[in-house]
Amino acid sequence: MPIDIIMPALSPTMEEGVLAKWHVKIGDKLKSGDIIAEIETDKATMEIEAVDEGVVSEILVAEDTQGVKINTVIARIIGDDEGTAPPKAAAPKIEQPVVATPPAAPAAVPPPIPAAISAKTGERLLASPLARRLAAQSNIDIATIKGSGPNGRIIKIDLMNAKPSAAAAATPATPATPPPATIAGLPYEAGRYDIQKLDGMRRTIARRLTESARDVPHFPLQVDIEIDKLLEARKGINIQAEALGGKVSVNDLIIKATALACKAVPAANATFTDEGILLHHHADIAVAVAIDGGLITPVIRNAETKGLLQISNEIKALAAKAKAKKLMPEEYSGGTFSVSNLGMFGIKSFSSIINQPQGCILSVGAGEPRPIVKNGQVVVANVMTVTLTCDHRVVDGSIGAAWVVAFKGFIEEPMSMML
């Protein structure tokens, strides 16, 4: 009996993915643990392994196929003795730590595959459904093909190596259909644009941010913060950090101050649910990282307990994995509070959309010299603007304001972060 290989759910939020690459072909013998394919999710690229032993009889989803739904049958294998493989679980095993995933409906056992019939002789032939379909499309008499599969079964590779009949060769090629003048009713002429396909990450970003902007009642709180003492403290910290082979950035200090402010005002480190408001015990700070095709938020766990050099090393390692699309689900999910910093691009101030299900996100602008008033005198100081965007279902204005005051205190008096 054929064994189905299905599109696995690689994270709790995954609904579909890209079948990026096959590491096997029809006719290959598999043993448990063999890498069979690479799957791209909205966050990462992961390899999947075979659980069962046997021979690859069909590949049903081609490489680089977008939007493959989870639990879709992507391939089938049969036992070496043609159809007596043991009844093991058909889903591929994932070479990553196990994460909770929604229960999937068991795949239905496919009906027996009917044999192909020669158009000339009426003789029944053993051939895969894919081989029969390719033969019909290429106008090839399948009776003329010698099968290379188990027990002489005709498989895809046999059709790929076969030549079409004279009738098919004489059939003129159908002219290509000209591209439409518009797409989805938009008034843009063909030839005046290029189409960049939506990958899984961009589709997920579009869906989640639309849901957040539509369903979450946001409000922003903005404040200017002097950072002269922070910059001076960073110089001293880096004298010690560089001796240990590291370097602390302003962003590392911002992450630490964010975590400490979450502990100082725990009501802001919260999540809204229908069952109640979750007040998190630790500040797990999700840090926005730009990668090709989108944005991902690796998480610094228990950031309030970690030193600046440890935070720096962790965020560098996570950012490198994010850009290589190698983050594990547990490394980018489960944050309690987000930080997005566009200061390095010269952005003075901005407001972010909340990263659900978190209750707040901090948007950090560029630090720059600005004129300010001190003791009745206009002086120049380094100032940055930050904006806290809050989910009003969880964080009221007074709670958000208290968090901003605590954060500003840690940034303007950085030595208080060491206490």
Tokens of 31: 């043993």
Which one of the listed residues 218, 280, 282, 392 is annotated catalytic?
A: 392
- Is 247:241 a contact under the CB 8 Å cutoff? yes
Q: What angle do CA 399, 404, 406 make, to 5 degrees?
A: 95
Distance between CA 306 and CA 142 in Å, rounded? 67
Helix, strand or coil for residue 32?
coil
Distance between CA 356 and CA 343 in Å, rounded? 23
Residues in the chain: 419
Tokens of 139: 């106008």
Helix, strand or coil for residue 391?
strand
Helix, strand or coil for residue 323?
helix
Tokens of 235: 């110089």
Active site residue 392: yes
Bridge partner residues of 76 (DSSP): 4, 58
> Which DSSP string corresponds to 351-375?
-PPP-TTBSEEEEE---EEEEEEET
What phi, psi does 374 have (nearest 5°)? -130, 125
**Exposure string (b/e) for 185-206, b if CB count within 10 Å is 16 or more?**
eeeeeeeeeeeeeebbbebbbe
Nearest to 51 by CA among 40, 38, 35: 35
- Is 190:176 a contact under the CB 8 Å cutoff? no
Distance between CA 370 and CA 392 in Å, rounded? 32
Distance between CA 60 and CA 74 in Å, rounded? 5
Catalytic residue positions, numbered: 392
